[in-house]
Amino acid sequence: MARVRLIDVAELAGVSMKTVSNVVHDYPHVAPALRQKVQSAIDELGYRPNLTARRLATGRTGMIALAMPEMDHPYFSELSRYIAEEATRRGYRVLIEQTLSDPVAERAVIGDREAGLVDGVIFHPVQMGTLDIAKLAPGTPLVLLGEAAMPVMTDHVMIDNVAAALEGTQHLLDSGRRRIAFLAVTDGDITGSTTQRLLGYQQALIEAGLPVSPDLVLTARKFSAEAGGDAITEALAAGLEFDGVVCRDDKFAIGALKALQAAGKSVPGDVAVVGWDDTFVGRYTSPTLTSVAPDKMAIASEALSLLEDRIDGYQGVGRHRIVGHSLAVRGSTPAS
């Protein structure tokens, strides 16, 4: 019960604190006999080093913070898992910071009024612009995730959104679709992901010699499957014709799937659907969902590499890592 300290072990073993510490840390140069004696003292007392004290002495916490909008959003929960695994592999523990896309919470993540909590932060911003971030960022090592505008001073990991959107659209074009819509979002996307994806979509149309019609860009009112579905339903009601739709997000795509079916359209027969993030859910809708698949594992490991550099003292300018992506082709698009 009463907590045992290093010095207690030292006394029982009849050695100094340093020696006990050496044993605890598996230092090479300790006489076997001593090590033995110390170890049994440790066992007998049930000694467990106090991490807080160690941290104060070393200045390292062995923890990183992972700040993201929602931990139960499929994309973020999947990404978190990989980040957690990678962090564990590298000897860090993960502190979760859920921002719920709240600007105040986002500022708190990096402009934190307290120090010494974590060694570094991996942050997926939604509301904060890169300028804000650069301005507020304290000395804490920081790596940004997601599509925050490129010219940032901070380290940053993302996929090539333009290329990915182009490929997704291309896939639809390959199967003969000609009137392809894009399902975007109105608000809450300051970071420009939608813009970049839209760009890739338009580029694909242009390369195919097709017109880029603003009518075909639908916008959902919020980040939810329902809102995505509503946008589709309204477009259909307004008489818009399209035979394919590239969605900014799997959630939208799922809503779209439902809305299309409700409207009597077959997927992919009448309308083919491409989602984004290759989320777990997309494998269980019907039809299953074709989706742009960011290499989540690569995002996790790149992010941790960059962060670890910073933690180890790297002070250079912001680095940008583009990691791979692919298109997970499933039932919502015809085999091209």
Partner DNA sequence: CTGAAAGCGCTAACAA
Partner DNA sequence: TTGTTAGCGCTTTCAG
Nearest approach, Cβ of residue 13 and DNA (Å): 8
User: Looking at beta carbons only, is 29 or 104 nearer to DNA?
Assistant: 29
Nearest approach, Cβ of residue 226 and a second copy (Å): 10
290 binds, among DNA, a second copy, none (CB under 5 to 8 A by kind): none
User: Is residue 93 near DNA by the rule CB under 7 A?
Assistant: no
Size of interface with DNA, in residues (CB under 7 A)? 26
Query: Which residues are within 8 A (CB) of 246 and not within 5 positions of it... i.e. 6 or more apart?
Result: 165, 168, 169, 172, 180, 181, 182, 183, 197, 201, 274, 276
Beta bridge partners of 217: 182
258 binds, among a second copy, DNA, none (CB under 5 to 8 A by kind): a second copy
CA angle 244, 245, 251 (to 5 degrees): 140
Inter-helix orientation angle 225-237/250-262, to 10°:
40
User: Is residue 117 near a second copy by the rule CB under 8 A?
Assistant: yes
Nearest approach, Cβ of residue 166 and a second copy (Å): 27
User: Looking at beta carbons only, is 20 or 166 nearer to a second copy?
Assistant: 20
User: Looking at beta carbons only, is 60 or 222 nearer to DNA?
Assistant: 60
Beta bridge partners of 22: none
Residue numbers 197-226 binding a second copy by CB under 8 A: 225
**How far is the C-alpha of 271 from the C-alpha of 261, rounded, in Å?**
10
User: Is residue 63 near DNA by the rule CB under 7 A?
Assistant: no
Task: Catalogue the E-assigned strands of 167-256.
Answer: 180-185, 217-220, 244-247
User: Looking at beta carbons only, is 34 or 134 nearer to DNA?
Assistant: 34
SS3 for 68?
A: strand
Interface stretch with DNA, choices 9-17, 98-106, 200-208, 289-297 (CB under 7 A): 9-17
User: Is residue 115 near a second copy by the rule CB under 8 A?
Assistant: yes
Backbone phi, then psi, for 155, in 5-degree steps? -65, 150
Q: Residue 49: is it exposed, middle or buried by C-beta count within 10 angstroms (0-12/13-18/19+)? A: middle
User: Is residue 29 near DNA by the rule CB under 7 A?
Assistant: yes
**How far is the C-alpha of 57 from the C-alpha of 171, rounded, in Å?**
57
222 binds, among DNA, a second copy, none (CB under 5 to 8 A by kind): none
**How far is the C-alpha of 56 from the C-alpha of 94, rounded, in Å?**
19
User: Is residue 335 near a second copy by the rule CB under 8 A?
Assistant: no
User: Is residue 81 near a second copy by the rule CB under 8 A?
Assistant: yes
C-alpha distances out from residue 284 to 100, 106, 254, 287, 329, Å: 26, 33, 10, 8, 14
User: Is residue 22 near DNA by the rule CB under 7 A?
Assistant: yes
Q: Which residues bind a second copy (CB under 8 A)?
A: 1, 3, 48-53, 55-56, 61, 63, 66, 70-72, 74, 77-78, 80-81, 84-85, 88, 93-98, 112-117, 138-139, 225, 254, 257-258, 261, 280-281, 283-286
- Catalog residues that contact DNA under the rule CB under 7 A: 3, 5-7, 15-19, 21-22, 24-25, 29-31, 34, 47, 49-50, 53-54, 56-59
